[in-house]
Every structure is written in C-alpha cells, then in structure tokens.
C-alpha cells in the first residue's frame, strides 16, 4: 500500500482541516504532529474530540502515558506547508521532525500563534493492528482570536501537494431575521446553549 495506509487514503477524497497535536515526551519535551482525523465527537454537556493515530505512533504512546493532549489550530501560511507535511509523514524519523518544529509551545502544549486551541484529557481508546482511536474530554477551550480564520484543508498529510490554501473571505451576506420569528428564537436558544458550553469548558 506504500504511503496509503488505509481505505480512506486509497479509495476516496475526504477533505478536512487538521490540528497540530502536542503530547509530552518522557524527557519533558513536546511532541508536535499534525493530524487530519482529529474531529469533534460529542458536543453536549461533555464535549469530546476523537483522534485517529497509528497504534505505534509517538503521539499515542505519549497520550497513554500522560493521559493528555493539546490541539492547536493555525491559520493557513504558505511558508508552513512544507514543514507541516514533513511533520505529518511518519516515514521521516522523529529526530528530523522534531528539529523542524518552528513554533514555540507553552506550558499547556498550545502552539504560540495559533488562533484556537483545546486542552484535553484521555477518556478511553480502542486499537486495531495498525490504528488507535482515542476519545478525549475537552478540559480547556481557548476561544478563537479571529472571526473567520483561514484554515487549510487536506486530503491527508502525506505531501505538500495534498494541503490546500483556503479562499479568502472577501464578502459576506447578512440575512435579516425578524425578532419575533420562530427561526430567531431557535438561533438565540442555540447561542445560549453554546455560551453555556463554552463557560463550562473553561472551568
């Protein structure tokens, strides 16, 4: 199968964003790697993220040891794309990848300069022969610093040609909704629920 390790990479195009995942190495340094399959799992009273990694990856080993990981989200920067691809290619050895990490990492694992981050604790995981699926509880949510971040999309972090820059937001359409309408009531209820979730996640 070469670099295409699973059916998703071989059979279909699944474009999505990615997260820079930081886990603590045994020597106290940070392991920083990009992951495409780092997605919201639960969004109710216990917000969670599910992370798919290789079962033998350093990220998964660290996660089992420390029970924590931090997800940082970066705006698109053409100058970073080659580095991110290099970090995401497991055929490159760890020493070379560690030497290529250009971002500062704070004490909680957040990449300095990221527009959004979440700190998580491991809830549980399952494994197969090649993959590990970890479900993590969000314990700290650092709110976005920009309203419409320009996030890259990827078909899998296997090469520079697989990461795509977003189209800049040059215009927006504002739709007026009457304050006494049913739709307006639903929007306000959803907003209050989201604000309540944000508050509970920050505690």
Taking residues 52-77, what's their average pLDDT?
Answer: 95
Is the model's pLDDT at 173 over the cut of 50?
no
DSSP string, 94-133: HHHHHHH--S-B-TTSPBTT-SEEEEEEEEEEEE-SSEEE
The total of structural domains in the chain comes to 2
Q: Which pTM was predicted?
A: 0.75
Host domain of residue 12: 7-172
Instruction: Report the pLDDT value the prediction gives residue 115, as an integer from 0 to 100.
Output: 93
Give a yes or no: residue 143 inside a domain: yes
Mark whether 102 and 66 lie in a shared domain: yes
Name the strand (E) or helix (H) holding 20: strand 19-24
Question: 105 falls in which pLDDT band (50, 70, 90)?
Answer: very high
Q: What is the pLDDT of residue 172?
A: 46
CATH code where residue 116 lies: 2.30.110.10
As a whole number of angstroms, the distance between CA 148 and CA 75 comes to 10
Q: Note whether 159 and 101 are same-domain residues.
A: yes
pLDDT at 52: 93
Residue 203 confidence (pLDDT) = 47
């Amino acid at each position: 199968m070469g670099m295409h390790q699973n059916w998703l990479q071989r059979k279909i195009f699944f474009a999505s964003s990615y997260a820079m995942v930081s886990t603590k190495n045994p020597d106290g340094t940070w392991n920083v790697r990009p992951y495409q399959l780092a997605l919201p799992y639960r969004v109710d009273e216990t917000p969670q993220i599910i992370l798919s990694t290789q079962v033998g990856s350093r990220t998964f080993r660290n996660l089992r040891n420390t029970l924590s990981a931090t997800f940082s989200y970066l705006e698109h920067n053409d100058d970073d794309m080659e580095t991110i691809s290099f970090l995401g290619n497991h055929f490159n050895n760890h020493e070379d990848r560690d030497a290529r990490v250009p971002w500062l990492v704070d004490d909680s694992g957040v990449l300095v300069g990221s527009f959004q981050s979440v700190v998580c604790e491991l809830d549980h995981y399952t494994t197969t022969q090649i993959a590990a699926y970890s479900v993590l509880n969000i314990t700290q949510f650092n709110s976005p610093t920009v309203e419409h971040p320009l996030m890259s999309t990827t078909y899998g972090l296997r090469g520079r040609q697989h990461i795509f820059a977003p189209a800049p937001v040059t215009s927006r359409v504002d739709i007026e909704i009457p304050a006494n309408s049913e739709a307006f009531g639903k929007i306000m209820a959803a907003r209050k629920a989201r604000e309540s979730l944000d508050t509970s996640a920050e505690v």
